[in-house]
Amino acid sequence: MLENVLIYGLINGMVLALLAIGFALTFGISGIANFAHGALYILTGYTVWVFLHTLGTPYLLAIFLAMAITALIGAAIYNVILLRIRGMRSSEIIATFALALAILEAFRFFGFVGAKYTLPTFVEGSVSVAGVIVDYQRLILIGVGAGLVGLLWFFTHYTKTGLAFRAIAQVERTALTLGIDSDRMATLSLAFGAALAALAAIVLLPLGQITVETGLNVLLNALAICILGGLGSVTGIVAASLLLGYAQIITVTYIAPHWLMVVTLVAIFVVLLVKPSGLFGKQKELEERV
């Protein structure tokens, strides 16, 4: 029982981290809360499905194409929709949320509903870890999550674009005086965030069914993690994901599965009461973070 909680808590934590990291990245760099994050996640799932089943593209190629498409849509969201309302935070949220609803309802409208909308796992089979059965897809997602965190850390500390991301997130005006273009950075931040939503979808969707409703759940989870962890750092996101991941699994195992969503909401509630800047947030005020 305990081994089960330990291993599946870790997996659940990694799932949450994957869902939230793109949202947090975009917001951290450009201050834009992309409420279409969950819709992009689902969009990627359906895109891969269409490539696989309608066009017969090989799985690996379909994955890369879907990620590229989602990233381009992310960039387009900034340049077509957000450009004119940049800096007006509530308008940004309303616009991206409206887009999310439009994307999700369009899929429902065109009949993307039903049990046939699933993606194949990368590798079939499972393995026993300390007496607990874990399938390969879940092991892969732990690897992808951990790898991604490492890669992001390297990217933001050792590459020009990464340093520019951190610079513009800290003091926009100084970044401008050094030749860092704010529109270019915002476009990139949305494209990166979208690509990370796509990556999460590709790794996580094979574990279940692609449904329209998942889109809003993904958004809610991403928001919960960001509020919990505070949008200061990747560390905050990972720590919050693990915390919430374990809390959810412990609740499911020892209390009852239907309390699952309550855990998330209670966690948000308690953190907002006790430390509104999030557990790892750096002085940022509440309204600055959604």
Q: Which residues bind another protein (CB under 8 A)?
A: 83-88, 157, 160, 163-164, 166-167, 170-171, 173-182, 184, 282
Q: How far is the CB of 79 from another protein (least distance, A)?
A: 12
Please check whether residue 253 is in contact with residue 263, taking contact to mean a CB–CB distance below 8 angstroms.
Answer: no
CA torsion 47→190→13→265, rounded to 10°?
A: -100
Nearest residue (CB) to another protein, 128 versus 177: 177
Q: Round to whole Å and give the CA distance between 195 and 182.
A: 20
Q: How far is the CB of 179 from another protein (least distance, A)?
A: 3
Q: How far is the CB of 85 from another protein (least distance, A)?
A: 7
Nearest residue (CB) to another protein, 82 versus 226: 82
Phi, psi of 41 (to 5 degrees): -60, -50
Q: How far is the CB of 156 from another protein (least distance, A)?
A: 10
Q: Round to whole Å and give the CA distance between 144 and 251.
A: 26
Nearest residue (CB) to another protein, 220 versus 279: 279
Q: How far is the CB of 124 from another protein (least distance, A)?
A: 45
**Nearest-CA neighbor of 209 among 46, 19, 53, 38?**
46
**Nearest-CA neighbor of 74 among 201, 205, 227?**
201
Q: How far is the CB of 195 from another protein (least distance, A)?
A: 22
Nearest residue (CB) to another protein, 168 versus 212: 168
Cα atoms found within 13 Å of the Cα of residue 241, Cβ hemisphere only: 26
Nearest residue (CB) to another protein, 81 versus 216: 81
Nearest residue (CB) to another protein, 76 versus 167: 167
Q: Round to whole Å and give the CA distance between 30 and 125.
A: 41
Helices (H) and strands (E) in the chain, counts: 11, 2
Please check whether residue 15 is in contact with residue 238, taking contact to mean a CB–CB distance below 8 angstroms.
Answer: no
